[in-house]
Amino acid sequence: MRRRLRPLIALVLAPVLAGCFASGGGTDAAGGAQDGSRLRVALAFPPAEGLSPYGADSTILSRLGITEGLTALDANGAAAPALAASWRQEDDRTWLFTLREATFQDGSKVTPAAVTAALTHATRAKPAPAALSGVTLTAKAEGGTGVRITTGDPDPILPLRLSSPSLAILAGKAYGKDDGVDPVGTATGPFELTKVMGTTAATLDRYDDYWGGRAQATGIDVKFVADGTARASALRTDQVDLAEAIPVAQAATLDKATREATATTRTTSLLLNTQKGPFKDAALRAAARQAVDTSAFAKGVYEGYADAGAGIYGPAVTWAAGKRTEPIGRAKAGEPDGTRITLATYDNRPELPEAAQVLKQQLEKAGFDVTLEVREYSRLESDALGGRFDAFVLARNTLVDTGDPVAVLASDYTCDGGYNIARLCDKDVDRAVAEAEDATDTAKRQDAAMAAEARILGTDAVVPLVHQRIITGVAPSVTGALLDPYERTLVGTGTRR
């Protein structure tokens, strides 16, 4: 268990980070002085999959302004133009997207053929991107500016789905023969990824031919700093300009003007392995759920920067509370009687180890024998997805994959879901999620999503703990940081210092 680092330890870490970030200026490749407008950014999550756009790393690429899809999400969560200037639905399974004039960072044009190839590659990825969970689609070039996309079944939210960071459009040279994807110099955003130093750092330069106009910052120097206290220390000591996911324990150490709290659609939950181990027993899952006191997390661990868990969707999903119904089919709680379980989480989000420690105490009080395991996320993900833990504490943005509330249900809680850490496979849940996916009217889709949530919560495969507010560290010299409730963007063309 990693405990919170106190200010003294943070000061010890500061010299370490001083070698990671120049305090200003520096020199370019030719030895001349830089103009000082490069941004220094500390991100919480090192790449877990070699910066492939098809998994969790996709949001790293979108947050830094590297990649784009055909569409984007606007402030209201609706689909907005990106690489596609417009679109129209031709029938219940077919949509025609009209591309804007744009170029890839390797100088090639964004053509219907290039977009078709990129989307086709995404459909063949293993595992499938979360945005394509349960969905089949075929893309075909149409004339000089059109891409016709046909889905296997009616997909009323296809424009939303295509906004997913995991469906970013890259140039043909990005896709290697070994099914790998290389985003270095092959994307379309305002910043070009030029160098990746493993899981420690990356360098981005401004892409001057960006279709949306030239960015104000000349580039971005990124460090992946898993320790949240170190990120806060780097901001305080002017080693970084932007630091994501500041720990709540460190918020008070920052000047009020340098911390921004944003309500997000992120929910922290306890996921229980329903496929094997003790929690294959629904009665023991019910016992674990009854042992959890969510108020201890919102008021204690998150120090008021969160709301007590109410469901898979939290208050930032504004329509959810009014449509929520009671969980369906919950089992009667059994007696743990010393049942041994392994509880795991990761420390990139610094509150999670403490939340897991509180959970450990609550579960042990109820009669479980708990072993706690904490690692950095990239060293934990494959084991979590492989079902090697009995219980897992996860912070999950419920709208990050597509902007559609149903997508997270399909990817996280259905038999074929690509991010199903709970290993849930329940025919009633699958049927409820399928009904939600089929709903075309917005209000009916929301109703169906909440009915599916009730089915999922009824299995006790997931126990919502808190709905988070994310704290971002923003230096006073920085303007235009993109504080996004969907956590897809951080730096854009107007971000500068």
pLDDT one-digit tens code per residue, 357-398: 999 999 999 999 999 999 999 899 999 999 999 999 999 988
Domains and CATH numbers, the chain: 7-65+189-255 (3.40.190.10), 71-166 (3.90.76.10), 264-469 (3.10.105.10)
Cα 426 from Cα 432, distance rounded (Å)? 10
For residue 401, give the 3-state DSSP assignment.
coil
Cis preceding-peptide flag for 7 (omega within 30 of 0) = no
Q: What is the pLDDT along the chain (497 residues), one digit of tens a residue?
A: 333 333 333 333 333 333 333 333 333 333 333 444 899 999 999 998 889 999 889 999 999 999 999 999 887 778 999 999 999 999 999 999 999 999 999 999 999 999 999 999 999 998 888 888 778 999 999 999 999 999 998 888 899 999 999 999 999 999 986 668 999 999 999 999 999 999 999 999 999 999 999 999 999 999 999 999 999 999 999 999 999 999 998 998 999 999 999 888 899 999 999 999 999 999 999 999 999 999 899 989 998 889 999 999 998 888 899 999 999 999 999 999 999 999 999 998 888 999 999 999 999 999 999 999 999 998 999 999 999 999 999 999 888 777 888 989 999 999 999 899 999 999 999 999 999 988 888 889 999 999 999 999 999 999 999 998 889 999 999 999 999 888 899 999 999 99
Cα 474 from Cα 491, distance rounded (Å)? 11
Distances (CA, A) of 199 to 81, 167, 228, 294: 32, 22, 16, 34
Cα 460 from Cα 448, distance rounded (Å)? 19
Q: What is the pLDDT of residue 484?
A: 87
Q: What is the pLDDT of residue 21?
A: 39
Q: What global pTM score does this model have?
A: 0.75
| CA neighbor of 324 nearest in space, from 335, 316, 313 | 313
DSSP-assigned letters across all residues of 54-106: TSTTHHHHHHTT----SEEE-TTS-EEESSEEEEEEEETTEEEEEEPS-B-TT
Q: What is the pLDDT of residue 349?
A: 86
